[in-house]
Structure 1
Amino acid sequence: MNEGVEWALHSCVNLGWLEDDQPVTTARLAAFYDLPPAYLNKQLQALVRAGLLTSTSGPRGGFRLARKPEDITVLDVVTAIEGREDAFRCEEILRKGPNANPEADYRRTCRISVVMRKAELAWRRELAGQTIADVQHHVEKANPEAPGNTRAWFVNARP
């Protein structure tokens, strides 16, 4: 998974904590974690295409959550950035091995393929079961001042 997933998730959490519903520029979102704005912007645009963020052009433009934090899953963000393809793709190398069966569908019968598909399904279920609001809740539990500190930073930031 590329670093854009982490950046996008943190951006969604921070946008969810902002109360005034004003769009936030890429520069401000990037400055919060000292990220490269151009690369972060690519990730944010992917979230717009997936319907997770909205984007407004112009001098007062920027990004906002398109849905409430409880309506955006971690899987939504991951698939917006990484795509929907499985992390593991069975190439059926058993077809090239000794005693290969040309009639076999090794994607279904190879134990490695089966284990990897099961793990992928469990991983996707876990990500689909966690929302941005859930992440916010856990952060707030461990660090109650995080939402207020985040709001204050964005109010005072000038990038």
Structure 2
Amino acid sequence: MGEGVEWALHCCVDLALGGAGRAVPAARLAAYHDLPPVYFNKQLQALARAGIVVSVPGPRGGFRLARPPEQITFMDVVVAIEGPDPAFRCAEIRRRGPGAGDPAADPGPCLIDEAMRGAELAWRSALAARTVADIAGAVRERAPDVPERIRGWLAASRT
């Protein structure tokens, strides 16, 4: 998984904690975590195409969450950035080489593929069960001063 997923997740949490429903310029969001703005903007565009954030044009424009943080799952963000394809694709290499064509060497469905699909299903289910609101709430509990710090940083771009 690329680092763009981490960037996108942090961005969504930052917007949930400090955006207050207002648009925040992409450069300001990138600067909060010292990310390269050009590359970070690609993650924001992917989030916008997926309906996770919306782009607001104009001098006070930028990005804001498109829906409540309770309705944005980690899986939504992963799919927006990485795409919907499975992480593992069985190429059936067991059907190549010296054992190719031997019925005894091919006892049915690929057991490695089955194991990997099961693991991916568990991973996807776990990510689908976590929302941006869950993490924002945990941040509020563990570090109560962080939401205000994020809000102040993001709001500074609007003055």
The alignment's TM-score, normalised by the length of structure 2, stands at 0.90
2:156 aligns with 156
Paired residues, number: 155
| Equivalent position SS for 2:137 | helix
Structure 2: tracts of 5 or more residues without a match? none
Post-superposition shift, 1:19?
A: 5.3
Post-superposition shift, 1:156?
A: 2.8
Distance (whole Å) between structure 2 residues aligned to residue 112 and residue 19 of structure 1: 44
Distance (whole Å) between structure 2 residues aligned to residue 47 and residue 19 of structure 1: 16
Could you say what the CA RMSD is over the residues aligned between the two structures, in angstroms? 1.8
2:121 aligns with 121
Amino acid at match of 1:118: G
2:24/2:157 contact within 8 Å kept? no
Post-superposition shift, 1:97?
A: 3.2
1:73 aligns with 73
Distance (whole Å) between structure 2 residues aligned to residue 17 and residue 138 of structure 1: 11
Amino acid at match of 1:58: G
Q: Aligned in 2, Cα 1:19/1:6: closer, same or farther, shift over 3 Å?
A: closer
Query: Is 2:106 the partner of 1:98?
Result: no
2:8/2:43 contact within 8 Å kept? yes
Amino acid at match of 2:151: R
Amino acid at match of 1:57: P
- Comparing both chains, which one has the higher relative contact order based on Cα–Cα distances under 8 Å and sequence gaps of 6 or more? 2
Post-superposition shift, 1:60?
A: 1.5
* Structure 1 runs of 4+ with >2 Å offset: 18-21, 97-103, 155-158
Post-superposition shift, 1:114?
A: 0.8
2:25 aligns with 25
1:42 aligns with 42
Distance (whole Å) between structure 1 residues aligned to residue 129 and residue 76 of structure 2: 10
* Percent identity for Structure 1 against Structure 2: 55
Q: Aligned in 2, Cα 1:145/1:111: closer, same or farther, shift over 3 Å?
A: same
2:136 aligns with 136
Distance (whole Å) between structure 1 residues aligned to residue 124 and residue 53 of structure 2: 21
Post-superposition shift, 1:102?
A: 8.1
Post-superposition shift, 1:135?
A: 1.0
Structure 1: tracts of 5 or more residues without a match? none
Q: Deviations over 1:68-124 (max 9, x none)?
A: 000000000000000000001100101103333489xx8x71111111110000000
Post-superposition shift, 1:57?
A: 1.7
